[in-house]
Amino acid sequence: MEYPTNRTDAKKAGVKHYFTGKPCTRGHIAIRKTKGVCVECMKEDWVLDNERRKEQPKSEAAKAAGRKYYERNKESVKARAASRPPSEVRQYKDLHKQKNPDYYKSLTSVRKRRHRDATPPWVTAEQKLGMRQLYLQAQQLTKTTGERYVVDHIVPLISPYVCGLHVPWNLRVITQEENLKKSNKLLAP
């Protein structure tokens, strides 16, 4: 498609873009909007605006709008989340962790306390070491296979029916996927 070479001609012709062939003030050689600026400059500004917006804490209104959007589009939101490649998901999680260190620290301390409370006094130091090795094993498997491995309490520490113990024979290393299936089953009525 042929563009007019200046704004005046573009206005006369009633078209939305023109192309001078010369660099803009930021050095782009690109088409320009008749009622605006160079399209590459606009793209840059969008990206910058988005970055800036992400840095800002969300207002209550924005959060409410987000929840409303989710309620109305649950299925497509979930489908989009499920189709995201694992590497991207991990990247996002790492970023979230970086931005919310206090939240993650509290999670770890809650888990630690839960484990300590569920460990009977007669568990030996050797058995404790064995349990720690299971966690290392899960970490190692995650690294080598690329799939997330976790340590599962076969009988959950917290459940409406029974409470499991943090002891060697109640632990096993499984993939996070299996673990999620299990918790879904436990949550089902």
Residue ranges binding Zn ion (CB under 5 A): 24, 26, 28, 38, 40-41
27: left (phi over 0), alpha (psi -120 to 50) or beta: left
Distances (CA, A) of 112 to 99, 108, 156: 22, 6, 15
**Shortest Å distance, C-beta 28 to Zn ion:** 3
153: enclosing H helix or E strand: strand 149-153
User: Which lies closer to Zn ion via its Cβ, residue 28 or residue 148?
Assistant: 28
User: Which lies closer to Zn ion via its Cβ, residue 41 or residue 173?
Assistant: 41
User: Which lies closer to Zn ion via its Cβ, residue 50 or residue 159?
Assistant: 50
- How do 149-153 and 171-175 pair as beta strands? antiparallel
Please give the single-letter amino acid code of residue 44. Answer: E
Q: Which of 44, 46, 34, 27 is nearest to 19 (CA)?
A: 34
User: Which lies closer to Zn ion via its Cβ, residue 38 or residue 138?
Assistant: 38
Max alpha carbon distance in the chain (Å)? 89
User: Which lies closer to Zn ion via its Cβ, residue 28 or residue 114?
Assistant: 28
**Shortest Å distance, C-beta 19 to Zn ion:** 12
**Shortest Å distance, C-beta 24 to Zn ion:** 3
**Shortest Å distance, C-beta 23 to Zn ion:** 8
**Shortest Å distance, C-beta 2 to Zn ion:** 21
> Cα–Cα distance between 120 and 152 in angstroms, integer?
18
**Shortest Å distance, C-beta 43 to Zn ion:** 9
Continuous H helices in the chain: 7-13, 39-55, 60-72, 74-83, 86-99, 101-117, 125-145, 176-187
